[in-house]
Structure 1
Amino acid sequence: MTTDNPPIRADQREMLESLRRGRPAAGQDPAKRRQIMEGARRVFIEMGFDAASMNDITRAAGVSKGTIYVYFANKEELFECLIDEERKQMFSDMYAALDQGGELRETLIRFGVAFASKITSEKVIMAQRTVIGICERIPELGARFYERGPKQGHAKLTAFLKSAAQKGLIEIGDFELAAYQLTDLCLSGYYRQYLFGYRTGSPPLEEIRATVSAGVDVFLNAYGPKAAGAD
C-alpha cells in the first residue's frame, strides 16, 4: 500500500529531531534569540544603525555568524524586531488613558500627557531619528514602522473621538483629521526641538502638561458642541 505523503524536508527533519532531544530547533530558541537582540541593542545604541555591522552584533551577542543568520536575515530585520519590542513595552498602556472614563477634557489631557511623554522620551526620539535616516534607502522599513505603530494608535484615538461625538460631547466632521490635530497640539513647540537635537533629554512633565492642557482647550474650542458656545 502506498501513500501520497511528501518526503520530510531537511528543516522539518531537524525540527523533529530537536523536539525528540528536548531542545528547540535552529532558529526556535527564545533564549538565543533574546541573547542576539540584547547584543544588537547595545551595538545600535553605542554605534548607531549605519555604523553597526552584523559582525559587531555577533561579537556583542557572543554567538557565531552562522547562528545569528539562522535567526535574522540582516541588521535591518534585527533593528525592526527591536523597534517592535520597544513599542509594545512602551506604548501598551498609553491608550488605556482613553478608557478610564471621566470628563472629556480631563480624559484628553490625561491621554495627551501620556502620549507626549512617550513620544519625546530619549529612547523614542533616538528610534525615530534612526528610522527617518533609514527611510531613504529602505522605504519599506519606514512604512512598516508607521503601520505597526503610529497608524494603529491613530485608529484608537479616532475611534475614541467618534464615541465622544456619538455621546454629543463634540462635533467633528473629519475624525481622521481631528485625531491628527489633537496629537499635533499635544506636541506643539518642543517635539521638533528634541527630534533635531536643539534640546536634549526629555521635556519636564510640567511643560508637557501645560502644553497639552492648552492644546486640548484649543481642540475643544474648535470641536465642542455648538450648543455650548455663544449663539
Structure 2
Amino acid sequence: MDRQRSRLPPSVRVDQIVDAALRAFSQAGYAGARMDDIARGAGLSKGGLYAHFTSKEAVFEALLERHLAPAPLDVDAIVNDADSVQALAERIADHLHDRLANPAMISTLRLLLAESGRVPHLAARWRHETAATHFADLGRLLALARQRGLCRDSVALRQPWLLLAPVVHTVVLAALADPDEPVRLRDRREAHVAMMVELLDPAGRSPCAARGS
C-alpha cells in the first residue's frame, strides 16, 4: 500500500491533505489542529505532509482556495441555454447554490468566520477575489441576457450583487446555524429563483411589476 500511495500524483495527494485538513480544523479549530493530525488523516508521515505544505497556514490557505474560490460562471452557456426568464433564474441558481451552498463550503466558511482574526489576509482575499469575481460574472451575464431579451432593465443590472446576496446569506446562516436546526437549503433556493424572476421578468408580468404598474 505504501508503494501505491507513493505513486499518487501530487494533485491527488494535495486533495487528500486538504480533505484531512477540513476534518482536523472542523474538529479542533485552527489553533487546536496539528500538522500531525492532518498528516495522519491523509495517511502520510509528517515529513510527507511537509513535502507538500510548509506550514499549517499554507494548508489552511489551500483549503480556502478550494472551497471559497469556486469556478466562475459560464456566462455564455447559462444565457444560451435559457429560453425564458424562469430558465435563466434556474440556471443562475443552480450554479450559485451548487458551488456556494454545499456542505464543504459551509464548513469552510464556518472556519473562516471563526478564524478571520487569526488569518485576516485570507478573509480579505476571499472578499476581494471570490465575491468580486462573482459580481463581475453576474454583471456580464445580465448584460448579455438583456441583449437577448431575457431580462428587462432593472436594478439587478446596475447592482448585480443583489442576485448573489441571497445565497451568501444562506451560506453564512448555515455556517452559524445550530446543527439541530439545519437551514432548509432547497426552500431558500426556490425563494431565490422566485426573487430573480420578479427582478428580471422581461415582460413585467411578475407580481411586483404588476403592482408597480
Query: TM-score w.r.t. structure 2 length?
Result: 0.70
Instruction: Please tell me the root mean square deviation across aligned C-alpha atoms, in Å.
Output: 3.8
1:183 to 155, 164, 171: 164
The yes-or-no answer on 1:216 pairing with 2:189 is no
Partners of 1:82 and 1:158 in 2: how far apart?
28
| Higher Cα radius of gyration | 1
1:111 to 88, 92, 102: 92
2:32 to 51, 59, 63: 51
Partners of 2:43 and 2:126 in 1: how far apart?
28
Count the aligned residue pairs: 200
Deviation at 1:107, TM superposition (A): 0.7
In structure 1, list runs of 5 or more residues that go unmatched: 1-22
Shift of the 60–159 alpha-carbon distance from structure 1 to 2, 3 Å rule, reads: same
CA contact (8 A) 2:79 2:141 kept: yes
The yes-or-no answer on 1:170 pairing with 2:191 is no
User: What pairs up with 1:115-154 in 2 under 5 angstroms?
Assistant: 115-154=96-135
Calculate percent identity across the aligned residue pairs: 22
Q: CA deviation digits over 1:100-119, x for unaligned, max 9? A: 22112321233124423543
Q: CA deviation digits over 1:23-45, x for unaligned, max 9? A: 99xxx944554453343343234
CA contact (8 A) 1:185 1:216 kept: no
Q: Give the aligned partner of residue 175 of structure 2.
A: 195
Instruction: Pick 1 or 2: higher relative contact order, CA cutoff 8 A, min separation 6.
Output: 2
Partners of 2:91 and 2:28 in 1: how far apart?
36
In structure 2, list runs of 5 or more residues that go unmatched: 1-5
Q: Give the aligned partner of residue 19 of structure 1.
A: none
Query: TM-score w.r.t. structure 1 length?
Result: 0.65
Shift of the 223–159 alpha-carbon distance from structure 1 to 2, 3 Å rule, reads: farther
Partners of 1:195 and 1:36 in 2: how far apart?
22
Partners of 2:21 and 2:171 in 1: how far apart?
27
